[in-house]
């Protein structure tokens, strides 16, 4: 009986040695799982097979063998878990080696867009007036007949109100604004003088489209109302504006004109920025470019918004943004601005 016990213990020792020897060279986690099943498997594991002999042992032998089985089992489990940790570490190190990134590599350049030339012109113009104390306000593009025409002293039979010139949403009532002026009326109705605003935005006119006319374009209009305000202030303000936009040598001139909302009214020319007044194709050999309309706010408008025309006066002006941009960038075709052709837009 002693011989059988010794043999059994010997087998357990041999199993332990063999298992540990086999564990050493394993390099893959999958092989480790196989090893686990082979030696420690609950079903057909070698240790389990040796344990099957237990019931046949004597009362004295059983604890001796049992203890030895448990010792071998713990030892193998300990070694397995150490090996598993070790392999996991190595796999991670290998992955890190492989996936190593070069942080000094220059990044991929993302395409960067830029401002549309019309937005840029609007910003440039409004900033000049902001430096002179004007605030920028923007209004709605769908307006009422009252704010777009009536309040601005545009008579019912004025050609601008014609079906042909205005895009009506609701004929006689709702329209796409034909100028940004409705916003000046709204501003005056909401605030007490002094008023100093510039209003940039889209406007709509139902006209034939050609190289210099579009059905939608942008305007910037300005309005100043104060107790003391003259045509000389208007002229000084616009001269300053022209010099900031086209160059310090720029001169301006007023030519008498007519608008329903201003009296007196003027067309404002600036000396040609292409030839500096000498005459060229851009200015049609006149030396002058027409860039603005302007005038003193009609007293009827002041009364309409609740201002006392004996106490307050105002000046107003307006310009087409596309026209300014065409002059600034030397373009002869207005439709390029709305065409969204990247070959054109990328040049700015
Ligand atoms: C109020 C009072 C007065 C705005 C003005 C012009 C003259 C003008 C044109 C320039 C080129 C329109 O884009 S364009 O075709 N504008 O000539 N605009 S005075 O006068 C106002 C506006 C609002 C309350």
Residue-wise pLDDT tens digits, 206-215: 989 999 999 9
Q: Which residues pair with 223 in a beta bridge?
A: 197, 316
In the chain, pLDDT over 90 holds for what percent of residues? Answer: 60
The per-residue pLDDT for 163 is: 62
The per-residue pLDDT for 294 is: 98
Residue-wise pLDDT tens digits, 118-128: 999 999 999 99
Q: How far apart are CA 203 and CA 56, in angstroms?
A: 104
The per-residue pLDDT for 87 is: 87
What average pLDDT does the structure give for the chain?
91
Torsion angle of C-alpha atoms 317, 184, 189, 145, degrees rounded to 10 = 110
Order of all β-strands in the sheet with 313-320: 135-136, 195-204, 216-226, 313-320, 288-297, 262-271, 252-259
**Confidence band for 176, pLDDT divided at 50, 70 and 90:** very high
Determine the average pLDDT of the residues in 41-53: 81
Question: Cα of 179 to ligand 1 centre, how many Å?
Answer: 7
Alpha helices in 163-298 (DSSP H): 181-190, 231-246
Determine the average pLDDT of the residues in 316-342: 95
> Does ligand 1 have an atom closer than 6 angstroms to the CB of 61?
no
> Does ligand 1 have an atom closer than 6 angstroms to the CB of 234?
no
> Does ligand 1 have an atom closer than 6 angstroms to the CB of 151?
no
- Please say if the pLDDT value at position 46 is more than 90: no
- Please say if the pLDDT value at position 2 is more than 70: no
Specify the higher pLDDT residue, 279 or 291.
291
Three-state DSSP class for 65?
helix
Q: Atom 18, ligand 1: which residue's CA is nearest?
A: 318
Return the residue matching tokens 């300005």: 222
In the chain, pLDDT over 70 holds for what percent of residues? Answer: 98
Lowest-confidence segment of 131-145, 156-170, 236-250, 263-277 by average pLDDT? 156-170
Three-state DSSP class for 200?
strand
Q: Atom 21, ligand 1: which residue's CA is nearest?
A: 316
**Confidence band for 164, pLDDT divided at 50, 70 and 90:** low
Closest atom, ligand 1, to C-alpha of 219: 13
- Please say if the pLDDT value at position 61 is more than 90: no
């Amino acid at each position: 009986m002693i011989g059988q016990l010794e043999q059994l213990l010997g087998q357990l020792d041999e199993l332990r040695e063999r298992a540990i020897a086999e564990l050493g060279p394993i390099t893959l986690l999958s092989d480790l799982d196989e090893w686990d099943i082979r030696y420690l498997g609950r079903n057909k594991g070698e240790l389990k097979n040796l344990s099957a002999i237990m019931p046949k042992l004597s009362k004295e032998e059983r604890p001796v063998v049992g203890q030895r089985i448990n010792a071998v089992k713990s030892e193998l489990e300990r070694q397995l878990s150490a090996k598993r940790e070790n392999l996991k570490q190595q796999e991670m190190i290998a992955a890190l080696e492989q996936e190593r990134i070069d942080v000094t590599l220059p990044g991929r350049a993302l395409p960067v867009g830029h401002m549309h030339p019309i937005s840029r012109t609007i910003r440039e113009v409004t900033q000049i007036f902001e430096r002179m104390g004007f605030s920028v306000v923007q209004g709605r593009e769908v307006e009422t007949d009252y704010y777009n025409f009536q309040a601005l002293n545009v008579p019912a039979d004025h050609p601008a109100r014609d079906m042909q010139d205005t895009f009506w949403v609701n004929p006689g009532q709702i329209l796409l604004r034909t100028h940004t002026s409705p916003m000046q009326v709204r501003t005056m109705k909401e605030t007490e003088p002094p008023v100093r605003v510039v209003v940039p935005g889209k406007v709509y006119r139902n006209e034939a489209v050609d190289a210099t006319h579009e059905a939608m374009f942008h305007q910037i209009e300005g309005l100043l109302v104060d107790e003391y305000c003259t045509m000389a202030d208007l002229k000084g303000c616009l001269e300053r504006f022209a010099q900031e936009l086209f160059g310090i040598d720029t001169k301006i001139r007023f030519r008498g004109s007519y608008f329903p909302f201003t009296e007196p009214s003027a067309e404002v020319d600036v000396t040609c920025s292409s030839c500096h007044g000498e005459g060229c194709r851009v200015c049609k050999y006149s030396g002058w470019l027409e860039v603005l309309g302007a005038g003193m706010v009609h007293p009827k408008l002041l009364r309409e918004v609740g201002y006392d025309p004996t106490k307050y006066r105002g000046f107003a002006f307006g310009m087409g943004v596309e026209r300014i941009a065409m002059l600034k960038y030397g373009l002869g075709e207005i439709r390029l601005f709305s065409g969204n052709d990247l070959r054109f837009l990328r040049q700015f």
